[in-house]
Amino acid sequence: MRVERVLLKDYTTLGVGGPAELWTVETKEDLLKATEAPYRVLGNGSNLLVMDEGVPERVIRLAGEFATYDLRGWVGAGVLLPLLVQEAARQGLSGLEGLLGIPAQVGGAVKMNAGTRFGEMADALEAVEIFHEGRFHIYLPQELGFGYRQSRLPPGGIVTRVRLKLKERPLEEIRRRMAEVDAARKGQPKRKSAGCAFKNPPGHSAGRLIDERGLKGLRVGDAMVSLEHGNFIVNLGQATARDVLELLKRIQEELPLELEWEVWP
Ligand code: FAD
Ligand code: EPU
- Where are the domains positioned within the chain? 2-65, 69-184, 190-253
Digit-coded pLDDT (tens) for 176-210: 999 999 999 999 999 999 999 999 999 999 999 99
Using CB distances shorter than 6 Å, the residues near ligand 1 are: 13, 40-48, 62, 77, 102-105, 107-109, 111-112, 114-116, 149, 158-159, 193-195, 262
pLDDT band at residue 166 using 50, 70 and 90 as cut-offs:
very high
Digit-coded pLDDT (tens) for 29-40: 999 999 999 999
Residue pair 60/77 in contact (Cβ under 8 Å)? The answer is no
Read off the pLDDT of each residue in 259-263 and give the average, rounded to a whole number: 98
pLDDT band at residue 59 using 50, 70 and 90 as cut-offs:
very high
- What torsion, rounded to 10 degrees, do the Cα atoms 149, 152, 155, 158 define? -60
196 tagged catalytic: yes
Q: Is the CB of 104 under 6 A from ligand 2?
A: no
Catalytic residue (choose from 149, 161, 163, 177): 149
Which fold would CATH assign to domain 2-65? 3.30.43
Can you tell me the distance from the alpha carbon of 1 to that of 23, in angstroms, rounded to the nearest whole number? 7
The pLDDT assigned to 156 comes to 97
Among 9, 23, 47, say which to mutate for ligand 1: greatest number of ligand atoms within 8 Å of CB.
47
The pLDDT assigned to 120 comes to 98
The pLDDT assigned to 262 comes to 98
Whole-number Å distance, alpha carbon 206 to ligand 2 midpoint, is 7
The pLDDT assigned to 225 comes to 99
Digit-coded pLDDT (tens) for 40-55: 999 999 999 999 999 9
User: 69-184 maps to which CATH number?
Assistant: 3.30.465.10
Q: Is the CB of 265 under 6 A from ligand 2?
A: no
Query: Closest ligand 1 atom to the C-alpha of 260?
Result: 45
Residue nearest to atom 26 of ligand 2 (CA): 116
**Cα–Cα–Cα angle for 12, 60, 159, rounded to 5 degrees:** 95
Q: Return the ligand number nearest the Cα of 108.
A: 1
The pLDDT assigned to 52 comes to 98
Query: Closest ligand 1 atom to the C-alpha of 192?
Result: 36
- Give strand pairing partners of 60: 23, 41
Omega within 30 of 0 (cis) for the link into 82? no
Query: Closest ligand 2 atom to the C-alpha of 197?
Result: 42
Read off the pLDDT of each residue in 234-245 and give the average, rounded to a whole number: 98
Digit-coded pLDDT (tens) for 83-94: 999 999 999 999
The pLDDT assigned to 130 comes to 98
**Is the CATH number 3.90.78.10 carried by domain 190-253?**
yes
Closest CA to 39 of 22, 64, 27, 17: 22
Whole-number Å distance, alpha carbon 149 to ligand 1 midpoint, is 10
Whole-number Å distance, alpha carbon 244 to ligand 2 midpoint, is 20
Q: Return the ligand number nearest the Cα of 128.
A: 1
The pLDDT assigned to 10 comes to 98
Query: Closest ligand 2 atom to the C-alpha of 198?
Result: 32
Read off the pLDDT of each residue in 214-221 and give the average, rounded to a whole number: 98
The pLDDT assigned to 160 comes to 99
The pLDDT assigned to 200 comes to 98
Read off the pLDDT of each residue in 233-250 and give the average, rounded to a whole number: 98
Q: Dump strand ranges (E) for 13-114.
A: 19-25, 39-42, 48-50, 58-62, 74-76, 93-94
